[in-house]
Amino acid sequence: MVLSAFAVAWLTNRPIELESSSIRTVQYSHWNGTLVIRFQSGDAYRYFDVPRKTYRWLMQAESHGAYFYREIRRSGFKFEKLKQ
């Protein structure tokens, strides 16, 4: 059985690199709903209690940055900025 890079990242909780002008990597823990987003600028944020469907839709979005801004940043999830 061959697993895709997305499946391996999902199972191992590794960051996934995106082809995005604003987001560099995304890391999601399906155990606790924690989403870590590292931006092209180098800044990284941890968002809490993000539903799996929100993460899946982010990964499937035509524009990851637009989806993030519209559905995650503006949705009021608790978050913290991570040290670089």
Specify the amino acid at residue 29: S
User: Residue 81, by phi and psi: left (phi above 0), alpha (psi -120 to 50) or beta?
Assistant: beta
Q: What is the rounded average pLDDT of the residues 6-14?
A: 62
Domain ranges of the chain: 5-82
Q: What is the rounded average pLDDT of the residues 44-73?
A: 95
pTM: predicted TM-score of the whole model, two decimal places: 0.83
16: β partners: 26
What is the pLDDT at residue 74? 92
**Cβ neighbours for 48, distance < 8 A, ≥ 6 positions apart:** 33, 34, 77, 78, 79
Going by pLDDT thresholds of 50, 70 and 90, the confidence category of residue 34 is very high
Going by pLDDT thresholds of 50, 70 and 90, the confidence category of residue 13 is confident
